[in-house]
């Protein structure tokens, strides 16, 4: 096998300019080599920059610094040998299946007969025979993504980029598509040499990839690289498969090194400047109850509870980390362990829960405490939303400030720590009469 890499990323950084001046760094120190015959997985939570990296490789964006090279040449725009499959399929609704597939070839000025031959071959390969003249809206999600695959394969790319291609599909359909893809891949029937798969599904990564790069957030970077040497086809129930999944969970919950006292919030920023995740109090309560109840009894293994509750890491981690921030639970070594107050919350009635939640919110969420303090100090016991937005925007983008404030409103309302009137954009201490 040829061992010179098809694709290389060397010290790639990507940042986006923020209106206030300072740039927002989304990818840092990214090094990656892709060799022939490999499926490499980029695994991480949303916001870890894995999709950004994929777009840099696809030539849809340019790195701020560092290099992406394809066959030794720097990537400066969409390259002919790199094709992409999109999460949302990105089919043109006004073109038929055939026309969608043929589009990439038409852009290459190919002869009509050749376009026809190759398109039909790709449609055939991916199992879309008989659907050539259908419009995307007539197809099910699975069939639409098959069109997405056929459209990418028809240009005979060396590298196939897949951006969470199965995450918009239901569980059954996704599994069928994965299996079909792996069959074609292992039989060498697809005209591609290597694959990069972006995913936030740990099991999917272990099932499909030869190498998994685990991404961390803020800024996006590679935490670790994991080789998967299990033979294909892989079995999800195989103990070594489970072990690998468990190991990745541990990797993803490892605390950053060298933080004093061993505690650092996972959310970017400090004090009132931390960006709060969008997590409703119902989800918090739901996870607390689930972990408190048997069989977990206050301590749950993350992969187990994830499959128990049918949650993907993108759902589970923000909830678990919010619990940790509120000191209702500790997250370590792939486990989630409730604190005493966490247990008290899980067992309490409505009033008890609100009391505990209110206390923790005002103690451990600096922004909530800040809002409460301002309202207490003022004679009118009210304050404009814009006042806090302005303060937050010193630390974060406009969008993040909005999200953070709307979350603290949600939690503050549940805790009855303060009230908020959206119509006038005013915080107050009054409750509606």
Partner 1 sequence: MERFEPYVFLNKLASRWDVLAFIVVIGLITFLGETSRGLFAPLSQLQSTPVSLDPAHLPEYAARTTFRMMAALLLSLVFTLTYATWAAKSERAGRLLVPLLDILQSVPILGFISVTAVFFMSLAPGRVLGAEFVAIFAIFTSQAWNMAFSFYQSLRTVPIELIEAAESFRLTPWMRFWQLEVPFAMPALIWNMMMSMSGGWFFVVASEAVVVGHTTFALPGVGSYIAVAIAEKNLTAIGWAILTMLIVILLYDQLLFRPLVAWVDRFRVEQEPGAGVPGSWALTMMRRSKLIRASTVAFQAAVLWTSRAIRRKDGPPVEAASRSKRSLDLLWVSLIVAALVVSLWHIFAVLIANTPLKEALQVSGLAFLTMLRVFVLITLASLVWVPIGVWVGMRPGAAQIVQPLAQFMAAFPANLLFPLAVYGIVAWKLNPDVFLSPLMILGTQWYILFNVIAGAASIPTEMRYVAANFRVSGWLWWRKVALPAVLPFYVTGAITASGGSWNAAIVAELASWGDTQVEARGLGAYIAEATTAGDFHRIILGIGTMSLFVVIINRLFWRPLYYYAERKYRLT
Interacting residues with partner 1 (CB under 8 A)? 55, 58-62, 76-78, 80, 82-84, 86-88, 90-96, 98, 103-104, 106-109, 116, 132-133, 135-138, 144, 151, 155
Quote the CA–CA distance of 423 and 428 in Å, as a whole number. 13
CB of 111 to partner 1, least distance (A): 11
CB of 303 to partner 1, least distance (A): 31
Quote the CA–CA distance of 33 and 38 in Å, as a whole number. 10
CB of 105 to partner 1, least distance (A): 9
Quote the CA–CA distance of 284 and 290 in Å, as a whole number. 10
Identify which of residues 59 and 127 has a Cβ nearer to partner 1 in the complex: 59
Identify which of residues 107 and 270 has a Cβ nearer to partner 1 in the complex: 107
Identify which of residues 88 and 386 has a Cβ nearer to partner 1 in the complex: 88
Identify which of residues 93 and 260 has a Cβ nearer to partner 1 in the complex: 93
CB of 151 to partner 1, least distance (A): 8
Identify the helix (H) or strand (E) that includes residue 222: strand 221-227
CB of 77 to partner 1, least distance (A): 5
Identify which of residues 132 and 314 has a Cβ nearer to partner 1 in the complex: 132
Identify the helix (H) or strand (E) that includes residue 407: helix 398-415
CB of 422 to partner 1, least distance (A): 9
CB of 280 to partner 1, least distance (A): 19
Phi, psi at 197, each rounded to 5° = -115, 120
Quote the CA–CA distance of 315 and 295 in Å, as a whole number. 21
Quote the CA–CA distance of 163 and 55 in Å, as a whole number. 9
Identify which of residues 68 and 361 has a Cβ nearer to partner 1 in the complex: 68
Determine contact, residues 412/361, Cβ cutoff 8 Å: yes
Identify which of residues 106 and 170 has a Cβ nearer to partner 1 in the complex: 106
Identify which of residues 108 and 235 has a Cβ nearer to partner 1 in the complex: 108
* Number of helices and strands in the chain (H, E): 15, 16
Identify the helix (H) or strand (E) that includes residue 23: strand 23-34
CB of 64 to partner 1, least distance (A): 11
CB of 423 to partner 1, least distance (A): 8
CA atoms in the 13 A half-sphere facing the CB of 31:
5
Quote the CA–CA distance of 110 and 5 in Å, as a whole number. 29
CA 429 to chain centre: 37
CB of 78 to partner 1, least distance (A): 5
Identify which of residues 106 and 183 has a Cβ nearer to partner 1 in the complex: 106
Dihedral sign from CA coordinates of 251, 257, 263, 265: negative
Identify which of residues 77 and 432 has a Cβ nearer to partner 1 in the complex: 77
- Please calculate the CA angle 361-362-367 and round it to the nearest 5 degrees: 90
Bond prior to 19 in cis (omega within 30° of 0): no
Quote the CA–CA distance of 326 and 48 in Å, as a whole number. 23
In angstroms and rounded to an integer, the radius of gyration of the C-alpha atoms of the chain is 25
Determine contact, residues 338/292, Cβ cutoff 8 Å: yes
């Amino acid at each position: 096998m040829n061992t010179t890499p098809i694709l290389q990323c060397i010290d790639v950084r990507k940042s986006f300019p923020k209106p206030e001046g300072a740039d927002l760094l989304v990818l840092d120190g990214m090094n990656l080599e892709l060799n022939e015959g490999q499926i490499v997985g980029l695994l991480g939570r949303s916001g870890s920059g894995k999709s950004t990296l994929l777009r840099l490789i696809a030539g849809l964006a340019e790195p701020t610094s560092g290099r992406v090279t394809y066959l030794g040449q720097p990537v400066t725009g969409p390259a002919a040998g790199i094709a992409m499959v999109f999460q949302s399929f990105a089919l043109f609704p006004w073109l038929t299946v055939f026309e969608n597939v043929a589009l990439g070839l038409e852009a290459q000025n190919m002869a009509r007969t050749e376009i026809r031959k190759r398109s039909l071959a790709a449609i055939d390969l991916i199992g879309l025979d008989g659907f050539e003249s259908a419009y995307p809206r007539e197809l099910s999600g699975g069939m639409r993504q098959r069109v997405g695959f056929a459209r990418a394969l028809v240009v005979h790319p060396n590298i196939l980029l897949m951006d969470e291609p199965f995450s918009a599909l239901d569980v059954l359909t996704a599994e069928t598509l994965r299996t079909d893809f792996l069959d074609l891949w292992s039989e060498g029937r697809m005209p591609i040499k290597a694959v990069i798969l972006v995913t936030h599904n740990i099991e999917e990564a272990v099932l499909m990839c030869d190498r998994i790069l685990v991404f961390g957030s803020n800024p996006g970077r590679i935490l670790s690289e994991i080789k998967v040497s299990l033979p294909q086809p892989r079995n999800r129930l195989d103990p070594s498969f489970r072990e690998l999944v468990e190991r990745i969970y541990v990797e993803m919950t490892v605390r950053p090194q060298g933080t004093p006292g061993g505690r650092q919030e996972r959310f970017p920023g400090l004090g009132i400047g931390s960006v709060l995740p969008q997590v409703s109090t119902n989800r918090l309560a739901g996870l607390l109850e689930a972990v408190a109840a048997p069989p977990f009894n206050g301590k749950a293994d993350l992969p187990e509870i994830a499959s128990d509750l049918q949650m993907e890491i993108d759902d589970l981690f923000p909830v678990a980390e919010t619990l940790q921030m509120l000191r209702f639970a500790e997250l370590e070594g792939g486990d989630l362990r409730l604190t005493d107050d966490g247990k008290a919350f899980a067992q309490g009635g409505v009033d008890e829960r609100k009391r505990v939640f209110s206390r923790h919110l005002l103690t451990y969420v600096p922004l909530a405490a800040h809002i409460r303090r301002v309202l207490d100090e003022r004679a009118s016991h009210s304050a404009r939303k814009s006042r806090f937005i302005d303060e937050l925007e010193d630390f974060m983008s406009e969008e993040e400030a909005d999200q953070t404030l709307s979350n603290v409103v949600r939690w503050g309302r549940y805790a009855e720590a303060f009230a908020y009137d959206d119509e006038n954009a005013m915080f107050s201490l009054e409750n509606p009469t």
